[in-house]
Amino acid sequence: MSDAPDRVARIQAEWARERPDLDVSPQGVIGRLHRLAARLTEELVPVYTAHGLTEGEFDVLAALRRAGAPFERAPGELARFTMVTTGAMTKRVDRLEEAGLVARRASEVDGRGKVVALTPAGQQLIDAAFTEHIANEHRLLAGLDPADRDALELIITDWLARLDQP
C-alpha cells in the first residue's frame, strides 16, 4: 500500500484548507466507498455484457432463478427485489421476454395477476452468467484478508441496517 495520499485524501486536504471551520472527516469513508462502488461496477458489468445482459437484466434473471422452481415471481415482487420502479421493471421484462429469456403468464394463485417466469433459455443463461459473476466477485475480494473481509461485511451490514431504520 502506498503512503502517498489518494484522491479522497487530497480532496479532504483542500477542503480543510478552504473550510477549516468544517470537519470533513466523513469524506474519508463516504468518498472512498463511493469510489469503490464505481470501481466495483466497472469490474462487474463486463461479466453481464459478456452474456448479452445489462446489469438490470442480470438482476431480474437472478431474482427469478433464486426464487426456486418454478423460477417465477410477480412483477411487483421483482421490482421490490431489484429495487426499481414497476415501470423500469416492465421495460426490463419486455426486453427479456423479447429475447426469449422470460415469459409472462397468468398467476395460478391470483387469476387476475401475472407472473414472470424464466424460460429454459433464461435459466441456462443466468446459471452461466451467475457462475462467472461469483468467480469475479471472489477475484475482487481475493486481496482482502479473510478476517478483514468478515469485519467489513459486519460493519457494512450494521451501517445499512441503521440507515434503513425509519
Give the whole-number percent of the chain exceeding pLDDT 90.
78
23 falls within a domain = no
Query: What is the reported pTM?
Result: 0.86
Whether 124 and 147 have beta carbons less than 8 Å apart is answered as: no
Sheet holding 114-118, edge to edge: 72-73, 114-118, 102-106
38 falls within a domain = no
- Picking from 54, 51, 97, 99, the residue whose alpha carbon sits closest to that of residue 75 is 97
Give the domain range for residue 90: 51-164
CATH of the domain at 80: 1.10.10.10
8 falls within a domain = no
When pLDDT is cut at 50, 70 and 90, the band that residue 88 belongs to is confident
**Domain count of the chain?**
1
88 falls within a domain = yes
Cα Rg of the chain, angstroms: 21
How far CA 68 is from CA of 32, 39, 65, 123, 133, in Å, comes to: 36, 31, 6, 11, 19
3 falls within a domain = no
55 falls within a domain = yes
Q: Cα 161 vs. chain centroid, distance in angstroms? A: 17
Burial of 11 (0-12, 13-18, 19+ CB in 10 A): middle
- How far apart (Å, rounded) are the C-alpha atoms in residues 161 and 166? 10
- How far apart (Å, rounded) are the C-alpha atoms in residues 141 and 13? 29
103 falls within a domain = yes
pLDDT for residue 102: 97
pLDDT for residue 76: 85
Neighbour tally for 6: CB within 10 Å: 14
Q: What is the pLDDT of residues 17-27, one digit of tens each?
A: 999 999 999 99
Burial letters for 138-152: b for 16+ Cβ neighbours within 10 Å, e otherwise? eeeeeeeeeeeeeee
1 falls within a domain = no
- Does the pLDDT of residue 2 top 60, yes or no? no
- How far apart (Å, rounded) are the C-alpha atoms in residues 111 and 95? 24
